[in-house]
Structure 1
Amino acid sequence: MSENAVPSQTLTEYCNSLDYYNVNFDVYNRVSQRINRFSDWIDKSLPKLADSMEISLPATGTLNVLSVGAGNGTIDSRILPHLRDKVHPNVRAIFLEPDLHTFQQCQDLVGKESPRLQGKSGGGQFWQFLNTSLGQEKDFFTSFDLEEACRKQNIMISEVQPIGIYVNVSCCFDPPQELTEDGRYLLDTITRSVNFAQTAAAELRKDVLRFLRSDTCSSITADGQVILDGSNSAYIIRRP
């Protein structure tokens, strides 16, 4: 493997390892308390957002929603009934989820209803870095793509509501042979790779960890903990 080579297993192979994909994501959810953070947003911010959408949406219209990285639908199953009951009965939804089995779980749980939830965050910045700087294949969708697509189509984003999700990734910076299980799974989750610490060239691993630690992606606490900004956002687009 050359000094600048990327791991041979990219996101497609990562997602094809179903058990590994699910274990990785479970660790990420636990460490970031992602479900709790979304639940806080649903309880505190979604009602006001729903009120503003109800005012602007005509009775004959359709509420279009997009869920990027919907997972197994746990969050969507809470948001969508609220939107359907409080905003509009006609909901057309699209899921974007790289793992087919997880996608099917999501469909089973919430049918064809899904929210538009994906944000520009430290995580998004990091994955963009992997694409543009390290040559990793573009086989997943981020907020950068969403915003670029809107720009090219002259679609104005009316409102962005951040959903704060922060992940302590300090355990990812230990030497490969000393990584804890959480550290290994988190590093694979955020790099979208399988066994990144062991398969990546030393120089590549150094570059990736340096960027992950940078203030573009993370903040450093007083006691030296590295906290990745993995925040999501709700994008609201209103028809003129």
Structure 2
Amino acid sequence: MTSSLRSLIGDSNRYLKALSLFKERTTCYQNTYDFIDNQLPDIMASNLNGKSHLNIIGVGSGSGEIDIRILSMLRLKYPLMSVDNEVVEPNPQQIHDYKELVSQTPGLDYIKWKWNNMTVQDFEKDWKEKERTKKFDFIHMFEMLYYVKDRGATISFFQSLLKKNGKLFISLLAGDSGWGKLDKTYGNRFREPEVSTVFIDEIKQYLDSKGGSYQSYLLTSQTDITECFIEGNEEGELMLDFLTEVLNFSKSAPPDLKAGVLELLHHPDCSVESNGKIIFNYYSEVIVVDQLT
């Protein structure tokens, strides 16, 4: 990591501001919603049919939009089903926003909530200390394993919490996508050497090494990054912060690093120009992991 650079994650307020902007400019959330609405019901059908109650965990749920979409889909498909829903999220502002979203969303009275305002590591420690034995039908981790050091141990722990025929959903960027190319090219200058990122390819390799069973679903996404190329544009600077995970990247990055990042983001391997806009193309995968055998 270049000595003048600081992690965006260390500044909660700016991170949430950058995340909010990203949500406005990207199709990835809508594409995830389409997956939840149109593919998830069929994937889960064999596990859900005939059940009157579900136990679910959302891991790294953020402000809850994806969780609520999943829960709303379940209510639509299985109107008589009740749900125990646990939330694991370390950011207190995100927990607050999630609770606000719950209060503003009608028809969630069939859900019993348990809020765990803690990291994944603390959740696992707390779980074992309290000797909890509850099992779950469905556990999901959308775009959160980036923030976990021992991903294999985390996956194994949550697999161990699944009921028979339970499913673990993991969503991550693909390493050969535009975002993956950005990180593989410059990631060692964005962060400290001991801090590594992760892509879905590595998770699949881990599962293959353990003989794990899973299915994979591709989600393509686009994000408008036009303002990143307008010098001094506040929203462009925020977007660069989010893409690099570097606090105030545009102002703090050495000139060669900033120039290289902008050149790569504009490269046809990563983006296309359309109607005067620069559209960043990338994709992630959702893998559906079965219970440990």
Judge same fold: TM > 0.5, yes or no: yes
Is the contact between residue 18 and residue 241 of structure 2 (CA under 8 Å) also seen in structure 1?
yes
1:155 paired residue among 197, 212, 236: 212
Distance in 2 separating the partners of 1:234 and 1:184 = 29
Distance in 2 separating the partners of 1:237 and 1:63 = 17
2:242 paired residue among 177, 189, 192: 189
Q: 1:161 to 1:126 in 2, by over 3 A?
A: same
Partner secondary structure for residue 237 of structure 1 = strand
Is the contact between residue 79 and residue 115 of structure 1 (CA under 8 Å) also seen in structure 2?
no
Cα deviation, 1:82-132, whole Å, max 9, x if unaligned, reads 56985x98989785x6x6225534775664675243232432443343335
Report the AA paired with residue 92 of structure 2: H
2:217 matches 1:226:
no
Is the contact between residue 122 and residue 230 of structure 1 (CA under 8 Å) also seen in structure 2?
yes
1:75 paired residue among 66, 77, 82: 66
Q: 1:83 to 1:199 in 2, by over 3 A?
A: same
Cα deviation, 1:29-85, whole Å, max 9, x if unaligned, reads 001144433323222222222225558xxx8xx988674x53212111221465698
1:214 paired residue among 242, 246, 267: 267
Deviation (angstroms), 1:212:
2.3
- Who is 1:18 aligned against? 12
Distance in 2 separating the partners of 1:162 and 1:64 = 23
- Who is 2:140 aligned against? 115
1:170 paired residue among 226, 239, 258: 226
Distance in 2 separating the partners of 1:65 and 1:16 = 26
Distance in 1 separating the partners of 2:184 and 2:56 = 26
Distance in 2 separating the partners of 1:185 and 1:43 = 31
Written as runs of structure 1 = structure 2, the 5 A alignment for 1:117-136 is 117=142, 118-119=171-172, 120=174, 121-132=177-188, 134=189, 136=191
Q: 1:21 to 1:53 in 2, by over 3 A?
A: same
Aligned length: 220
Distance in 2 separating the partners of 1:149 and 1:94 = 25
Report the AA paired with residue 191 of structure 2: Q
Cα deviation, 1:135-184, whole Å, max 9, x if unaligned, reads 6232655434433432443324x32222332101122123xxx2322211
The two structures, once aligned, show a CA RMSD in angstroms of 3.7
Distance in 2 separating the partners of 1:18 and 1:52 = 40
Higher strand share: 2
Partner secondary structure for residue 231 of structure 1 = strand
Distance in 2 separating the partners of 1:90 and 1:106 = 21
Q: 1:107 to 1:123 in 2, by over 3 A?
A: same
2:22 paired residue among 24, 28, 37: 28
Structure 1, unmatched stretches of 5+, are none
2:5 matches 1:8:
yes
Distance in 1 separating the partners of 2:64 and 2:289 = 22
